[in-house]
Amino acid sequence: MKFKAGDLVQLSAAGKKSKQNDHVLGGFGIIYFIGEYYADYPIHCEWVNGADFKGGQIRINFKPYELKFFKKSS
């Protein structure tokens, strides 16, 4: 898997299309654990500054294709 614990990530184009990720649009995540490759949602993130929680953070799980490495916007 291309990700490892400690990586900063954001939603990929596929992740943004998924309605289940609407509450984390615009934020970023820090991967804190990667589970077994056969799990439905193996990547566990602490997500910060999503659309529905101002200034807060939540823990959420993703499939690998829903994420990409974080790039600072200019």
How confident is the model over 25-66, as pLDDT tens digits?
A: 888 999 999 998 778 999 999 998 776 666 678 889 999 999
Domain limits of the chain? 8-69
Find the DSSP H helices in the chain: 13-17
CA 57/CA 45 separation, integer angstroms:
10
- What's the mean pLDDT in 16-28? 88
Q: What pLDDT shows up at residue 71?
A: 86
Q: For the beta carbon of residue 30, count every other beta carbon within 10 angstroms.
A: 15
Q: For the beta carbon of residue 56, count every other beta carbon within 10 angstroms.
A: 11
